[in-house]
Every structure is written in C-alpha cells, then in structure tokens.
C-alpha cells in the first residue's frame, strides 16, 4: 500500500491485488464478538518518518490517531525507565542514570555502553549476536534481562542470542540518538486497517487507481517488455509489477521465473519468529496502571490497556513476542496463564467475558546477524520486491516495510532504473 500510495502521489495510477478480504496484511484489524481487534498490537516510534508521512498524506492526523508517550520501559515493580523532556541523547542518558531496578554500577555500565555506541557511530566492523555485543560491553545478566532483552525483542522480535547486533544498533541509532521525539512511542487510537490501508485505498482510487480485495495473484509471467499477473479474476498486463506479498508467498510466485532463482533462494533461507496476542475482555471498569507496561519473567511481556489507548474499556491485550515456552501451551492454557498473571500482578480478580488468542507463527523474519535479504530490484528490471523482509537497515517493522515500498515505487518512475 505504501508503494501504491507513493506512485499515486506522483500521478501514476496503480492497481492493487490483495488476496485477503481485509486490507492491512500483518497489520490489519479483525472483528471478534463485535469488537475490532488488531491482528497484533502495533507500536510506532517517533523515528518512523516514512510511515508517519504516508499516514498524513492519505488523510491521517498524528495527534488524533495516536496516543504519544515519551520513551518509557516499565516492568511493573522490577524496572522503570522514563525519558525526561531533555534534548537527545541527554534524555536517554539521564533516563538510564535514574532507572529504577538497577544498581548504580549497572546504570553506569549502561551509560558507558550508550556512549561507546555513539563513539562507534552505531556501526560494528562485523555483525554478531546482540548477546555477544552486550557481553563485550559488560552488560551482564540483570541489565540484559531488564533493559536490553525487552528492547531487543520489542524491536527485532528475535531473542538476544539470535538477534543481529547491527540491526539492533540501527534501531537504537534512529530512535535514541537524533531528536527526543524520535524515541516517543505512538500507540494507535484506532484500528490498524482504518489507520492506514483503508485510507490508502481511498487515496489510490481518488488518484485513478483500483484496489481489488479477495483477489490474490496466482502467477507472475514476464512477457517481453511487460508482466502478466494471473489472478482468480483473469489475466492482467502491466508495465511494472511490485510484489509485496509476504516472504513465503513471494518465493512461491518468483520460483517459476528462471531469472529470479536467486531472489527466491534468498527468501527461502529466511527463518521466522512468532508473536502471540492474548485479548481479554474484562468488565469496563477494569484498567491497568498505565496504557502500556511490561512484566518481568512472566509469559506476558507487554500489556496494553485498550480502554486507555483506544476507548475500548475493559479490553486488555497481552503480547508475547519471539519463540518461547508459550508455544507449547494450548490457547486456553495460555489465556489462563495470562489471567492468573493479571490477578497476581494487579489484583484483577474478575473473570473476562471472553478471550481471543491470535497466534501469528510467522509474524516476522528472524533477524539474525549478517542476514542476506533480497534487494528490491530483481533481475527483471520491471519486477520489484517490497516488504519488511527485503534489504534494508530495519528489522521486520512497519517502517521497514514502508521504506521498502516507497523505494520500489521510486524505482518504477519514468527515467529511473
Ligand atoms: C502480531 C504482530 C505484531 C507486530 N507489531 C509490530 C509493531 O509493534 N511495530 C512494527 O513496526 N511492526 C510490528 N509488526 C511487524 C509489521 O506488522 C510487519 O513488519 C509489516 O506489517 C509487514 O508489512 P508487509 O507489507 O511487508 O507484509 P504483510 O503485512 O504481510 O503484507 C503482505 C500482503 O500480501 C497479501 N498477499 C498474500 N498473498 C498474496 C497474493 N498471492 N496475492 C495478493 N496479495 C497477497 C497479504 O494478504 C498481505 O495483505 C508486527 C507484526 C505482527 C504479526
């Protein structure tokens, strides 16, 4: 949708084929018990400049669409860090020095680490796992558990021992090191399909394009200078095609094209990490102390109070990112664990009216060190690949997907290669 909006804004009408009934892909909303839920909680950072630019372009209003919070990490009673209103990177250094739940020595180590990263311009001579980098800089167990692991899992959806240190540094560089607003956390007040893809679809159609839902692409067939797309509703010919399907589908569509063997092979090598979201509808008076907070050494890593964020009173969401023991539980067992945690941590004794577990087994690619990701430009000049998994600085995030889409769009412009 980012690619299509970017092209539409430059006067090029675009046809979008979406296999699902609903727009938005992994960042879509779903209806359950008359309640609009997101496929998973999505948090944006202030540094997501391209995503925020496009949301604005299609008619969004940042102030109304998001609850904006200064950077904070609150692991309910075990750790708390909140960035004061100071210029970057002072806001972070002061936040680290004043963090609750760490010894003075640990706080100093974390500050020295951040200063060392700045000194290196957030660039490593060779990639390594985040665990290796933390060990090299004396960020030992409590510091890693309370600060770096939650940050790494939230940003890369990959555990420290498997995560690319360089990609983690890319996120830290952009979020923590430029302006204070870059590190702000933006929680959407409206459902995700309404936030961007639905507005984007309207924008694309107002600019002469078409958006077809429930119309998946079954094959991509290069023909001379053009490309044919075979869909359930017929065959369509285009000058350029941007394949923005998720990696598994993209590999399936590219594999039959001899020239694209290399791109398909790179995609096949990607491994994936899950994200589970457990929604619990409690009576309307049930709330959490903050709109978003973390738990330490619990199944629930992050909790979101949708009443405080999106005017959905009593609706709580527990997010469990990356691989872990939770995958061995049934959905009922997992929901019961989360209910027990909410009771133990916050004294919530009420029984939820319903729960819904959304298990995205392939939520993101596993962001491993030195990972080779396919370029947006394929071996065919008029066939491009867009998506969070394509080459870029970012892990699998909305901003990574949007930057990739915008880059593809610009490559399709007349006179550009
Ligand atoms: C639970 C969860 C929580 C997340 N939380 C965050 C977060 O807090 N912050 C953040 O930045 N990122 C988050 N992410 C990651 C973010 O959602 C993704 O990086 C982003 O949505 C990827 O976008 P994409 O366009 O690359 O792929 P997708 O969103 O997967 O889009 C691909 C689209 O292609 C469609 N499609 C598939 N096959 C075909 C076909 N044959 N023909 C036509 N269309 C097809 C799909 O239906 C889908 O709409 C989260 C992801 C999940 C799953």
Instruction: Assess whether 210 and 86 both reside in one domain.
Output: no
* Gap between the Cα atoms of 337 and 73, Å rounded: 23
The CB of 374 under 6 Å from ligand 1? The reply is no
Confidence at 140, pLDDT banded by 50, 70, 90: confident
Instruction: Assess whether 312 and 255 both reside in one domain.
Output: no
Classified as helix, coil or strand, 161 is: coil
User: 63 pLDDT exceeds 80?
Assistant: yes
Predicted confidence at residue 417, as pLDDT, reads 47
Average pLDDT of span 216-220: 98
Whether residue 417 lies inside any domain: the answer is no
User: How many angstroms is it from 83 CA to the middle of ligand 1?
Assistant: 30
Determine the structural domain holding residue 347 and report its residue range: 272-365
**166, 183, 200 — which closes off a domain?**
183
The CB of 244 under 6 Å from ligand 1? The reply is yes
Token pair, residue 38, equals: 């997101």
Strand ranges (E), 3-94: 15-17, 29-32, 35-38, 44-45, 66-69, 72-74, 80-82
Residue 40 CA: nearest ligand 1 atom is 1
Residue 39 CA: nearest ligand 1 atom is 1
**115, 149, 183 — which closes off a domain?**
183
The CB of 401 under 6 Å from ligand 1? The reply is yes
DSSP 100: B
User: How many angstroms is it from 26 CA to the middle of ligand 1?
Assistant: 3
Average pLDDT, the chain: 95
Whether residue 203 lies inside any domain: the answer is yes
**168, 183, 198 — which closes off a domain?**
183
User: 85 pLDDT exceeds 90?
Assistant: no
Instruction: Assess whether 136 and 160 both reside in one domain.
Output: yes
Average pLDDT of span 395-415: 95
Whether residue 354 lies inside any domain: the answer is yes
Instruction: Assess whether 177 and 205 both reside in one domain.
Output: no
The CB of 230 under 6 Å from ligand 1? The reply is no
- Residue 158: closest CA among 184, 183, 127: 127
User: How many angstroms is it from 130 CA to the middle of ligand 1?
Assistant: 25
Lowest mean pLDDT among 16-25, 78-87, 355-364: 78-87
SS (H, E, C) 178-234: CCHHHHCEEEECCCHHHHCHHHHHHHHHHCCCEEECCCCEEEEEEECCEEEEEECCE
Instruction: Assess whether 283 and 352 both reside in one domain.
Output: yes
Looking up residue 202, the CATH number of its domain turns out to be 3.50.50.60
User: How many angstroms is it from 138 CA to the middle of ligand 1?
Assistant: 36
**What percent of the chain has pLDDT above 90?**
91
Instruction: Assess whether 379 and 263 both reside in one domain.
Output: yes
Strand ranges (E), 282-338: 292-294, 302-305, 315-321
- Residue 392: closest CA among 360, 367, 417, 415: 367
The CB of 220 under 6 Å from ligand 1? The reply is no
Residues 261-298: b if buried by 16+ CB within 10 A, e if exposed: eebbebbeebebbbbbbbbbbbeeebbbeebbbbbeeb
Whether residue 178 lies inside any domain: the answer is yes
Instruction: Assess whether 260 and 120 both reside in one domain.
Output: no
User: How many angstroms is it from 409 CA to the middle of ligand 1?
Assistant: 18
Instruction: Assess whether 87 and 175 both reside in one domain.
Output: yes
Token pair, residue 187, equals: 């929680």
Average pLDDT of span 14-30: 96
Radius of gyration of the chain (CA): 22
List CB contacts of 349: < 8 A, sequence separation 6 or more: 343
Residue 20 CA: nearest ligand 1 atom is 47
Average pLDDT of span 343-351: 97
Lowest mean pLDDT among 76-90, 126-140, 240-254, 268-282: 76-90
* Gap between the Cα atoms of 27 and 98, Å rounded: 35
The CB of 212 under 6 Å from ligand 1? The reply is no
Whether residue 403 lies inside any domain: the answer is yes
Q: How far is CA 347 from the centre of its chain?
A: 31
The CB of 26 under 6 Å from ligand 1? The reply is yes
The CB of 20 under 6 Å from ligand 1? The reply is yes
User: 409 vs 4, 72, 196, 219, 396, CA distance in Å?
Assistant: 7, 35, 17, 21, 19
Nearest protein Cα to ligand 1, atom 37:
245
User: How many angstroms is it from 245 CA to the middle of ligand 1?
Assistant: 8
Q: How many CB atoms lie within 10 A of CB 215?
A: 18
Q: Is the peptide bond before 89 cis (omega within 30 degrees of 0)?
A: yes
Confidence at 416, pLDDT banded by 50, 70, 90: low
Q: How many domains does the chain have?
A: 3
Average pLDDT of span 330-350: 97
Looking up residue 284, the CATH number of its domain turns out to be 3.90.660.10
User: 340 vs 65, 275, 307, 334, CA distance in Å?
Assistant: 32, 20, 20, 10
Instruction: Assess whether 319 and 237 both reside in one domain.
Output: no
Lowest mean pLDDT among 60-64, 139-143, 225-229, 299-303: 139-143
Q: Between the CA atoms of 132, 134, 135 and 137, what dihedral angle is there, to the nearest 10 degrees?
A: 130
User: 154 pLDDT exceeds 50?
Assistant: yes
Residues 72-98: b if buried by 16+ CB within 10 A, e if exposed: bbbbbeebbbbbeeeebbebbbebbee
The CB of 185 under 6 Å from ligand 1? The reply is no
Instruction: Assess whether 373 and 264 both reside in one domain.
Output: yes
The CB of 213 under 6 Å from ligand 1? The reply is no
Instruction: Assess whether 373 and 266 both reside in one domain.
Output: yes
Classified as helix, coil or strand, 17 is: strand
User: How many angstroms is it from 114 CA to the middle of ligand 1?
Assistant: 31
Confidence at 415, pLDDT banded by 50, 70, 90: confident
Instruction: Assess whether 91 and 140 both reside in one domain.
Output: yes
User: In sequence order, what are the beta bridge partners of 273?
Assistant: 364
CB 176 within 8 A of CB 118: no
User: In sequence order, what are the beta bridge partners of 242?
Assistant: 384
The CB of 364 under 6 Å from ligand 1? The reply is yes
* Gap between the Cα atoms of 233 and 212, Å rounded: 10
For a ligand 1 pocket test, name from 22, 26, 158, 185 the mutation site with the most ligand atoms within 8 angstroms of its C-beta.
Answer: 26
Whether residue 387 lies inside any domain: the answer is yes
Whether residue 313 lies inside any domain: the answer is yes
CA angle 151, 99, 299 (to 5 degrees): 45
């Amino acid at each position: 949708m980012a690619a299509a909006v970017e092209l539409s804004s430059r006067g090029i009408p675009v046809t979008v084929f979406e296999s699902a009934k609903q727009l938005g892909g992994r960042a879509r909303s779903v209806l359950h018990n008359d309640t609009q839920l997101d496929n998973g909680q999505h948090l944006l950072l202030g540094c997501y400049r391209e995503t925020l630019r496009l949301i604005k372009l299609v008619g969004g209003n940042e102030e109304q669409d998001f609850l904006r919070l200064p950077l904070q990490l609150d692991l309910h009673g075990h750790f708390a860090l909140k960035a004061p209103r100071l210029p970057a990177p002072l806001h972070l250094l002061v936040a680290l020095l004043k963090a609750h739940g760490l010894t003075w020595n640990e706080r100093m180590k974390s500050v020295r680490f951040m200063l060392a990263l700045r000194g290196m311009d957030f660039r490593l001579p060779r990639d390594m796992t985040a665990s290796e980098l933390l060990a090299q800089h004396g960020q030992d167990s409590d510091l890693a558990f309370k600060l770096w692991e939650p940050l790494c899992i939230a940003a890369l959806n990959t555990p420290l021992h498997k995560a690319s240190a360089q990609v983690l540094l890319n996120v830290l560089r952009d979020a923590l090191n430029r302006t204070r607003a870059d590190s702000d956390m933006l929680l959407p007040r409206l459902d995700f399909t309404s936030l961007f893809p639905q507005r984007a679809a309207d924008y694309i159609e107002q600019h002469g394009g078409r958006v077809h839902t429930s119309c998946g692409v079954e094959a991509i067939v290069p023909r001379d200078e053009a490309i044919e797309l075979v869909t359930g509703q017929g065959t369509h010919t285009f000058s350029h095609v941007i394949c923005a399907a998720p990696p598994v589908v993209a590999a399936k569509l590219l594999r039959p094209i001899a020239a694209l063997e290399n791109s398909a092979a790179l995609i096949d090598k990607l491994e994936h990490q899950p994200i589970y979201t457990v929604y619990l509808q409690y009576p309307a008076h049930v709330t959490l102390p903050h709109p978003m907070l973390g738990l330490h050494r619990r199944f629930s890593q992050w909790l979101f109070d949708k009443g405080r964020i999106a005017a959905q009173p009593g609706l709580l969401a527990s997010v469990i990112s990356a691989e872990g023991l939770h995958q061995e539980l049934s959905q009922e067992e997992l929901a019961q664990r989360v209910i027990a945690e909410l009771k133990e941590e916050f004294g919530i004794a009420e029984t939820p009216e319903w729960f819904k577990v959304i298990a995205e087994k392939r939520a993101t690619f596993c962001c491993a060190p030195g990972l080779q990701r396919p370029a947006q430009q394929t071996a065919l000049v008029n066939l491009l690949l867009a998506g969070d998994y394509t080459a870029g600085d970012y892990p699998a995030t909305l901003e990574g997907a949007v930057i990739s889409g915008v880059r593809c769009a610009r490559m399709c412009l007349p006179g550009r290669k």
